[in-house]
Amino acid sequence: KQEVTQIPAALSVPEGENLVLNCSFTDSAIYNLQWFRQDPGKGLTSLLLIQSSQREQTSGRLNASLDKSSGRSTLYIAASQPGDSATYLCAGTGANNLFFGTGTRLTVIP
């Protein structure tokens, strides 16, 4: 069974800093890797989806990479803003379901 781990569990940075969130998974036979954002008490917002054949995806200030051979994905956030404060979840796609990591709680300090 796929296990997904996220490090660190919590991160605080001053506004404007660039930061990297890490995600590792045990089974390299994933189909896709997806990054989500979750605000307190809210549902999930999909940020980036990297298909199995891709190595990275970019959207605005976000860049996600995928290295299946090492079982790792990273989410890079450039020029962080207080509005980026949220919990970030990565999820590996198995056969039509998702295996979620435990998340990284990000706080961007103004």
Which residue, 76 or 99, has its beta carbon nearer to other proteins?
99
Tokens for 96, please give them. Answer: 């039509």
- Which of 34, 65, 73, 85 is in the footprint of other proteins by CB under 8 A? 34
Residue 20 to residue 56: CA distance in whole angstroms: 14
> In the window 37-56, what residues touch other proteins (CB under 8 A)?
41-46, 49, 51
Establish if 11 lies at the interface with other proteins (CB under 8 A): no
> SS3 helix, strand, coil % of the chain, rounded to 5?
5, 60, 40
What residues make contact with other proteins under the rule CB under 8 A? 31-32, 34, 36, 41-46, 49, 51, 89, 93, 96-103
